Amino acid sequence: MSQISNGNGRQSIRNPNPPIEDSVFKSLRLDGRTVIITGGCGGIGYEVARGLAEAGANLALWYHSSQNAAKLSAKIASDFSVTVKTYQVDVRDNTQVEATVDKVVQDFGRLDVMIANAGIPTKAGGLDDTIEDWNNVRAIDFDGAYYSVRAAGRVFRKQKRGVGIITASMSGHAANVPQEQTCYNACKAGCIHLAKSLSVEWAKWGGRINSVSPGYIDTAISGDCPFEMKEEWYSLTPLKRDADPRELKGIYLYLASDASLPIVDLNSCNGCTEAITASIYSELFFSLTFDGATVMASQVERDAKIVGTAIAEVLPRSDKYWFQQPHLLRLNLLLLIPLLSSSVSGYDGSLMNGLQSLHQWREYFDHPQGEVLGLVNAAQSIGSVLALPFVGTLSDKFGRKPVLLSGIIMICIASALQAASVNYAMFVVSRVVVGFGGMFVVQPSPMLIAELAYPTHRGKYTSAFWTLYYLGAILASWTTFGTQVYEGAVSWRLPSALQACFPLVQLVFFWWLPESPRWLVAQERTQEASAILTKYHDPCTDDSPLINLELSEIVETIQREKSADTTGWSALVSTPGNRKRTFIAVCTGLMAQWNGIGVVSYYLTLVLDTVGITDTFDQTLINGLLQIFNFGAALSAAFLVDRLGRRVLFLWSGLGMLVSYIIWTACSAVNSDTGSKSAGIVVVVCLFTYFFHYDIAWTPLLFGYPTEIFPYSLRSKGIAVELFAIYGSLIIAAFANPIGLENIGWKYYIVFCVLLVIFFFITYFLFPETKGYSLEEIACIFDGEQADIVEHAPRETYKLGKKSSEGAAHMEQV
């Protein structure tokens, strides 16, 4: 249970308020949900069914002996374009009730609401009434209600969500006159307390159960009452009439919908006690309990802001953290394998900073400067660009895993060559091979993460991908810091060899990593995809609504993309939406390298030289501390991406980097003119503040954002385009930055101040927010009505090779 402060530093056990839907109309919608209504083909049950169908619910109407069940259900289906099925059930028989609940779940793929409405008001319980009458009324009015909510409650408990509503009566509050119906009154009082008692149990796992107590209602049952009895009713009713059953629809809809999320023990009574009874318009008695359901409801609301309402509603609910659930713990540990891919690039970036600080390395390679130094730093980027024409196509054709494996092996070999280099040419060539293999590691990894991750974890994990860049950077920087004390080539050969560290870890655990379900579906291996999703997303629920919905979205989206022939390279610019995606990908790659980061990442030594910090110990220490700081900042931002959103982080980052660079430039100028030591210290501080603002957006979102915005058919090629922009700009920067720093010094920073202003406005006007959408739904942002996505289950579901469409209006009698 989360705690909040009461304002004076003390912690309260009070739960936080859940997010509130601004639109009351949206909170009352039931689109795609399945509702069982017992006694659903007559009187109150039928009108409630029509009300819930109007709100978008699919219905399972239970009846005992109605002759009009088929006709009535067909009428509802036709009027509201929802799925309606009828089931003949004797609610007195618990075995029938349980079997029919299972049948409904099988037919609809889900169950969201149970309305236990069946009941009879037969005279029973008097001194002269028969025991048979007593048992019959009790079996229907009380036992039947219990059997119904019990069977449904077991389904709800598995999925950690669900709503129960019991139709009680004002007779459960008062012994109404003049009719004598002792057993009916006692049973309805029992129903009211049944709901109250069950609400305590249900609230623990996210369920809600309430009861409704109608007053006198004009139905076929009351139509047989004598005139004199009705007149006595009217004399005791303020509005002098009984209510139409259509007037009850609102309270049932309210209790069945998200509008009543915090309500876990309510009895809405249409009358009061003894001599004063009333119609539906009179006093409502509310007994409200705010309990664990509030927390569960707020979880649904929070998840909806991350992945959208449809996915959020079918996510399994648990009171355990993800690391306490074996399937999620196993999945998230396996995702560390592709997550470590970014550490390869991070190691390289910090390695070259560290090596340039080592006099042993500079002496061994004859003090490289200018273009010669630029080529060493650009070699890895050159290798990456050489791999780009192949890696996207290979990822789509052979799968994400084989491409990742080939890259791991190449880096291990190249690291050995780099550590064994005997001359400048061999060192450069080994770094080209590192870059070539690095592309095979980096390109498929964010796609594999996004396509495997649990829905609510996707944003955090795709953002965390490039965050682990700094894990490699930390190892490289502190390795060179430690080896500076060694004389001879070992001081730089050891850090060069350790570049294979992360690929070797990946290689050991690679064999347990699953393939992308989306790639498997694209290869028409749907059963394998379903098995992976079930194993890692929801292995605890039979016929999981989450897996059905995920698989349905993937299958239908990929089928539509294939039929539309949107898989070639030309498709990247074939539509307005794709042109915008591609433009964003190119801008992301260029801006991530030309916002000033390249000056620090590869040329920290030269930057520190310009402000008088030239000692090897000081430079390697600053480099090591900077990488630790970067890792903490970037990792924190990765966990905030779903809370703050992508745009907020991008814009905050842009402003912060601009301010930091302006101060950095000014202090560098002062230090250059006056030799001020304090100005040099400020420059070092600005380095950290600049990196903080870079890290909160451009580290977690560099690959996380473009991976999200491209549809499956173009995701691999879109990432390849972004990588081309990244490494193409890196090659240019690798040559331009050392020349600019050596020739014009601090004035070179002004170029990046101007570029940061331009980049801020590009981000502001062109980068849309993707928070709150599933991976497939993001297409709507770019393609509008032409988006290749599907309606959500259960209107369309896909289960292991068989498709069932339940969106069209139809009725099936069982």
Contacts of 709 (CB under 8 A, 6+ apart): 581, 584, 585, 718, 770, 778, 781, 782
Report d(CA 336, CA 49) in Å as an integer.
49
Give the pairing type, strands 802-805 and 810-813. unpaired
Q: Which two tokens stand for residue 357?
A: 């600080």
| Residue listed under structure tokens 């406005």 | 761
Q: Which two tokens stand for residue 719?
A: 């990432």
Report d(CA 535, CA 533) in Å as an integer.
6
- Is 184 among the residues known to form the active site? yes
Task: Count Cβ atoms below 10 Å from residue 232 Cβ, excluding itself.
Answer: 14
Burial letters for 450-461: b for 16+ Cβ neighbours within 10 Å, e otherwise?
bbbbbbbbbbbb
Contacts of 578 (CB under 8 A, 6+ apart): 566, 571, 572, 714, 782
Length of the chain: 814
Name residue 162's beta-bridge partners. Answer: 207
- Is 574 among the residues known to form the active site? no
Cα dihedral across residues 711, 716, 720, 726: positive or negative: positive
Phi-psi label, residue 482: left if phi above 0, alpha if psi -120 to 50, beta otherwise: alpha
Contacts of 659 (CB under 8 A, 6+ apart): none
Report d(CA 266, CA 209) in Å as an integer.
8
Q: Which two tokens stand for residue 716?
A: 């691999």
Report d(CA 505, CA 495) in Å as an integer.
17
CB 782 within 8 A of CB 581: yes
Q: Which two tokens stand for residue 190?
A: 């029992």
CB 304 within 8 A of CB 25: no
* End-to-end alpha carbon distance in the chain: 44
Report d(CA 667, CA 682) in Å as an integer.
7
Report d(CA 621, CA 627) in Å as an integer.
10
What is the phi/psi pair of residue 51, to 5°? -65, -45
How large is the greatest C-alpha to C-alpha distance in the chain, in angstroms?
A: 114
Measured CA to CA in angstroms, residue 426 lies from 228, 278, 414, 417, 510 at distances of: 108, 94, 11, 8, 30
Strand order in the sheet with 267-269: 267-269, 207-213, 162-167, 113-116, 34-38, 58-63, 83-88, 810-813
The amino acid at residue 626 is L
233: enclosing H helix or E strand:
helix 227-235
Which entry of 169, 268, 342, 350 is annotated as an active-site residue? 169
CB 116 within 8 A of CB 148: yes
Cα dihedral across residues 749, 753, 758, 762: positive or negative: positive
Measured CA to CA in angstroms, residue 226 lies from 119, 244, 536 at distances of: 20, 18, 63
| Residue listed under structure tokens 């028989």 | 93
Measured CA to CA in angstroms, residue 93 lies from 90, 116, 296 at distances of: 6, 14, 33
Q: What is the 3-state secondary structure (H, E, C) of 500-521?
A: HHHHHHHHHHHHHCCCCHHHHH
Name residue 87's beta-bridge partners. Answer: 62
Which entry of 85, 160, 188, 771 is annotated as an active-site residue? 188
- Is 146 among the residues known to form the active site? no
Name residue 58's beta-bridge partners. Answer: 34
Burial letters for 672-710: b for 16+ Cβ neighbours within 10 Å, e otherwise?
beeeeeebbebbbebbebbbbbbbbbbbbbbbbbbbbbb
Which entry of 63, 184, 454, 470 is annotated as an active-site residue? 184
Active site residues: 169, 184, 188
